[in-house]
Amino acid sequence: MSRLDSAIRRLEAQRDCIATATREIGELAGPILEIGLGNGRTYDHLRERMPGRDIFVFERQVAAHPTSTPPPERLILGNLGDTLPRARLRIGAPACLAHADIGCGNADIDAATASLLARWLPALMLAGGVILCDQPLSSEHLEEKPLPASVARGRYHYYVVAGNRAR
Ligand SMILES: C[S@@+](CC[C@H](N)C(=O)[O-])C[C@H]1O[C@@H](n2cnc3c(N)ncnc32)[C@H](O)[C@@H]1O
């Protein structure tokens, strides 16, 4: 598969997983976490599809178009290893949805980033909240759910947060 086809499928998977999660979250309260702003495409999609929700964005260095950049009070700037462990106070309430598209194509770096997410993200979430990620996350606090029928197995990962996790 060409890199173009692979990128298209990743973006389609992202969009279809977000659509399913938006329905499943329903009236669950709480903000959204966008992990990795990139050029802001997914951030823009989330704010369009889930209007009225606060979206907190984690990014080490902003390079997005200004129209797709979050306001400073919702931008959590820095490396995830520093920002995730301290984010709870800043966010103020547990999140209903987290989306993390953080792969860079280097297997070692991606595994290290996924391990950070698995370690810190569940404690920032509501029980029953959804985490969508381009990387597999290994955590006793997460239950992996089937993907939407349009998404090939392994292309994206869909997790629901368990109720009995440590805070
Ligand atoms: C693939 S891009 C995200 C693309 C985004 N979904 C979009 O719509 O453009 C991944 C982003 O995650 C950020 N990122 C990756 N690892 C990170 C880390 N450890 N700490 C902070 N940001 C990180 C990168 O800087 C990059 O902007």
- Ligand 1 midpoint to CA 44 (Å): 15
Q: The pTM is what?
A: 0.96
Spatial distance between the Cα atoms of 154 and 127, rounded to a whole number of angstroms: 24
Beta strand pairing status for 125-133 and 157-161?
antiparallel
Residue 69 contacts by C-beta under 8 Å, 6 or more apart in sequence? 37, 40, 62, 75
Q: Considering the domain boundaries, does residue 167 fall inside one?
A: no
- Ligand 1 midpoint to CA 89 (Å): 22
What pLDDT sits at residue 28? Answer: 93
What pLDDT sits at residue 163? Answer: 83
**Nearest-CA neighbor of 157 among 123, 106, 121, 109?**
121
Q: Considering the domain boundaries, does residue 166 fall inside one?
A: no
What pLDDT sits at residue 164? Answer: 61
- Ligand 1 midpoint to CA 45 (Å): 16
Spatial distance between the Cα atoms of 23 and 30, rounded to a whole number of angstroms: 15
Nearest atom in ligand 1 to 41's CA: 8
**Residue 97 lies in domain:** 3-161
Q: Which long-range CB contacts under 8 A does 55-61 form with residues at least 24 apart?
A: 55/31, 56/31, 56/32, 56/87, 56/90, 56/91, 56/95, 57/33, 58/33, 58/34, 58/83, 58/84, 58/87
Domain harbouring 13, CATH code = 3.40.50.150
Q: What is the tally of structural domains in the chain?
A: 1
Q: Considering the domain boundaries, does residue 95 fall inside one?
A: yes
Nearest atom in ligand 1 to 45's CA: 8
Q: Considering the domain boundaries, does residue 141 fall inside one?
A: yes
Q: Tokens in use for 96?
A: 């209903």
pLDDT in tens, the chain (167 residues): 899 998 999 999 999 999 999 999 998 999 999 999 999 999 999 999 999 999 999 999 999 999 999 999 999 999 999 999 999 999 999 999 999 999 998 999 999 999 999 999 999 999 999 999 999 999 999 999 999 999 999 999 999 999 865 54
Q: Considering the domain boundaries, does residue 41 fall inside one?
A: yes
Nearest atom in ligand 1 to 36's CA: 12
**Nearest-CA neighbor of 95 among 41, 51, 161?**
161
